[in-house]
Amino acid sequence: YDDRDGFIWMDGGFVPWRDAKVHVLTHAMHYASSVFEGERCYNGTIFKSREHTDRLLASCDLLDMPHPFSADEIEAAKVATLEKNGFTDAYVRPVIWRGSGEDMGVAAARNPVRMAIAVWEWGAYYGDAKMKGAKLDISKWKRPSPETIPCRAKAGGLYMICTMSKHAAEAKGCSDALMMDYRGYVAEATGANVFFVKDGEVHTPKPDCFLNGITRQTVVQMLKERGVTVHERHIEPAEMADFQQCWLTGTAAEVTPVGSIGDYSFEVGELTRSIAGDYEKLVRGQLVAA
């Protein structure tokens, strides 16, 4: 990703893509002091842009990092970065981190807090699996308790077990892994939330120790508007045997049907298909209220 044309917004101005570099003593690289966002721009408009910026700054607060820019400045910078690169449909990645500076230990309050925004074209996150139903592994890693990590933050450090889980899944020929939480309940995939369907009703894990995704909240609202009952609750892994449909939600994943999780299999059913279709229309501003 580092060797290409284009421009990256860095600390308030544009730098050529290949020159957007940091020093090896960057605090974030040693101690995971970074937070980020993942957003998608459709037809020139970033879906729920302000919500993502608010979550980014909330993640800074949770990690005790001062805001390097205001929400309004970040909103303007995202638009400018898309324009500068000539994209109307792209993935948007803002990242904020503690840089190198006075301190090179755990504490780094005197180091500069830096920010960058990169945008690139990114198609379906699960590729071909997107409409056929993705194959998921079950991870051996558990989402930690809220007393162990700031689970509401979209922070780089919280992705260490996600990368390990996803690599293990890919080595087995799966697209992703489902993670349980520290209590053993079903939690989420490595970069997306999970939903299940049973007899026309929807069941989704209560987001009390992982990200309550912006896509997740959007889909819950879409389901409620259709009059579908949504149970947000603790789900035991063995319950997956009785669920008929399953899908993932996330900015990158959008709504992706799941065909199997470990030994449990699901059909790509009517509700899954229509929610995926409606989400696609909604993000493009084409969903007409019933």
Annotated catalytic residue: which of 48, 130, 154, 166? 154
**Is there a contact between 196 and 202 (Cβ–Cβ < 8 Å)?**
yes
- Closest separation in Å from C-beta 266 to ligand PMP: 19
Output DSSP code: residue 19: G
- Count of alpha carbons within 13 angstroms of residue 89, beta-carbon side: 8
- Closest separation in Å from C-beta 36 to ligand PMP: 9
Choose between 116 and 211: whose C-beta lies nearer to ligand PMP.
Answer: 211
Count of CB atoms situated within 10 Å of the CB of 87: 17
* Distances, alpha carbon 63 to alpha carbons 36, 87, 185, in Å: 12, 32, 26
Count of CB atoms situated within 10 Å of the CB of 206: 15
Active site residue 224: no
Rounded Cα distance between 55 and 35, Å, is: 10
Q: Which of 92, 38, 94, 90 is nearest to 68 (CA)?
A: 94
Rounded Cα distance between 139 and 181, Å, is: 10
Residues of this chain that bind ligand PMP (CB under 6 A): 38, 154, 188, 191-193, 210-211, 213-216, 249-251
- Closest separation in Å from C-beta 211 to ligand PMP: 4
- The residue with tokens 């500069």 is 112
Q: Which secondary structure element, helix H or strand E, spans residue 99, and what is its range? A: none
Q: Which of 272, 158, 147 is nearest to 211 (CA)?
A: 158
- Closest separation in Å from C-beta 109 to ligand PMP: 27
Q: Which residue is nearest to ligand PMP (CB)?
A: 213
Rounded Cα distance between 248 and 189, Å, is: 8
At 207, the amino acid letter reads P
The residues that are catalytic are: 154
